[in-house]
Structure 1
Amino acid sequence: MTTVLAIANQKGGVAKTTTVASLGAALAERGQRVLLVDLDPQACLTFSLGVDPEDLELSVHQVLTQGLAPAEAVITTEDGVDLLPATIELARAEAELLTRTGREHVLKSALEDLAEADGPDHAYDWVLLDCPPSLGVLTVAALTAAQGVLVPLQCETLSHRGVGQLLDTVHDVRRFTNRRLEVWGVLPTLFDGRTNHARTVLETISSTYELEVVEPPIPKTIKFAEAPAAGRSILSTQRTGKGAQAYREVAGNLVARAQRPRR
């Protein structure tokens, strides 16, 4: 069965896109078939995997707004994952979908169509959704399509102020469009374990929102900034680095989490 996981946080700069690319590569290393979906009009995930958005004629925008078959836009990347890319056109999707009936289900329907076209023997094991840094139509569509949501979180005081808003949105999605959506927890990113402040913030988030903390924390390193310029994930550019190893461990923990009985 395919596990669809939304990676969401409306605050930018929390390593959300890095997390999607790195977890995708780590899952692929484990022999999983992985699809990454770029839902951010800035197309950072697309660019970071070596694809120039300006060179693309087909993208997730046409899938969501024009009914294009997802397989027509999917690209295979050098990191061993497939990508449903984004372009700047996606910025128009919010407005185009706003008045459309069933807009919350448009991504879910597209992924179901893709699974049906692939057949059970070729279905993806994982679909990771890189949500935009907002709580608009695209993020709600992602949460409606997902079984779980993972929240990357920089361990600084101001970084967790929006967590409550995100959880309110998750609550609304559960009520109206996806009753089985589960919050898988927060993933500490840009973590500096040398500071008491980072550890205190993490403990505060866990107790305040009663959220599971996904281990291990992702360490703060300049290597994450260098990887997108190479068009590869950090698992390719710094295979033995601390960041790459941390994402491999997180991927293993997510695989175990996916095997838990669903509610």
Structure 2
Amino acid sequence: MSGGTSTMIYTVAFPKGGTTKTTTAAELIWTLAQRSRRVLAVDLDMQGTLTQRLGFTDATEFNGTAADVLTARMTIEEAATEAPDIEGVEVLVGQHDLSLVDVNSVDDLITSLRDLLPDVADRYDDVVIDTPPAMSDLSITGMAAAEYLIAPVVCDVEAYTQVDYFESVIEKRLAPRINRGLKIGAIIPTRYDGRRLLDRELVLTLREEYGESTKVTDPIREGIAARDATRSAMPVGQYDPKSNPAKDYARVFGSLIGEA
């Protein structure tokens, strides 16, 4: 983030839905919180999946929403709400009002977070932005603010084929001017089962094709704990820290946080 601060802005994004973006964002937030970092979680998905994963329920009161900030109805400080069960984390809540937010309704939408986040640099050590499925206006908004871009890629052929498209969006829409020099910081293969030949081959192919310009991390293994954590509205590291997915995410993010 500009202004001489050490605050890091992570954005989790990928064009295809169902690629564990929200799970990955929640695990990054959990990992940072366990290191006593002050974290702002920004949920740009109208479904509010990250918001729910961080312990918010229908009964949870919140100060404001991500849409309130993007439309200038509230400041980040006014809208951010403490996560119910994770110390040190505040959330810009994702709600259905995000469905009304696009470049036609907010003139400076794409650069809004990029320009607003430096104002709260002294309040947070890290910002983690979770984006909606597909390359919507809100996804581009989250990517425009990114200092470190994370792409979770599920171990299936359909997800793998979207990596080139994702890179082209970055190169054509963001890197030239909006977020100069932006590139994918890390590709994280997820839902990995080492017993499946396809999974092993996909991880190898990702490393061969993208490993020179992008860090391709160790894969995140499949595990029932990840699904159970979703139902329990927790990061998997909070729900079952001894599970394979939790251990894999902790190892991967332990490395990335030091390098980002």
TM (norm. structure 1) is 0.88
Whether 1:111 and 2:112 are equivalent positions in the alignment is no
Amino acid at match of 1:151: A
Whole-Å separation in 1 of the counterparts to 2:144 and 2:21: 19
State the number of aligned residues. 250
Residue matched to 1:184: 185
The answer to whether the 8 A contact 1:153-1:160 is kept is yes
In the TM superposition, 1:25-104 aligns within 5 A as 25-52=30-57, 56=62, 58-77=64-83, 78-80=85-87, 81-94=89-102, 97-98=103-104, 100-104=106-110
d(CA) in 2 for partners of 1:159, 1:153: 6
**Alignment RMSD (CA, Å):** 1.8
The letter of the residue matching 2:148 is: G
For the 8 Å contact 1:79–1:232, the answer to whether it is kept is no
Give, in angstroms, the shift of residue 29 of structure 1. Answer: 1.0
Residue 261 of structure 1: aligned partner = none
Q: Structure 1's 69 and 166: CA in aligned 2 closer, same or farther, altered over 3 A?
A: same
Q: Separation in 2 of the partners of 1:208 and 1:98? A: 37
Moved more, 199-208 or 152-161: 199-208
Q: How far did 1:39 drift?
A: 0.7
**Counterpart code for 1:5:** Y
Alignment of 1:123-202 (within 5 A): 123-172=123-172, 173-202=174-203
Report the CA distance shift for 1:126/1:214 in structure 2 as closer, same or farther (over 3 A): farther
Cα deviation 1:106-129 (Å, max 9, x = unaligned): 1112212222xxx3xxx3222111
- Rounded to whole Å, the distance in 1 between the matches of 2:186 and 2:257 is 14
Structure 2: where are the runs of 5+ without partners? 1-5
Percent identity, aligned pairs only, is 29
Q: How far, CA to CA, are the matches of 1:197 and 1:58 in structure 2? A: 44
Counterparts of 2:229 and 2:201 in 1: how far apart (Å)?
29
Q: Which amino acid aligns with 1:27?
A: L
CA contact (8 A) 2:210 2:216 kept: no
Alignment partner of 1:175: what SS?
Answer: coil
Shift, 1:171, TM fit: 0.7
Q: Distance in 2 between matches of 1:100 and 1:46?
A: 23
| Distance in structure 2 (CA, Å) of the matches to 1:220 and 1:47 | 21
Q: Deviations over 1:201-223 (max 9, x none)?
A: 12222333445344331110111
Structure 1: gaps of 5 or more residues? 259-263
Contact 2:19 2:152 in 1 (8 A): yes
Q: CA deviation at 1:188?
A: 0.8
Report the Cα distance in structure 1 between the residues aligned to 2:181 and 2:34, rounded to whole angstroms: 28
C-alpha distance after superposition, 1:150-187 (max 9, x if no partner): 10001111111221121111112001201142321210
Residue identity matched to 2:175: R
Matched, 1:13 2:13: no
Amino acid at match of 2:15: Q
1:69 deviation in Å?
A: 0.5
Provide the C-alpha distance between the structure 2 equivalents of 1:24 and 1:146, rounded to a whole number of angstroms.
Answer: 15
1:219 aligned residue: 221
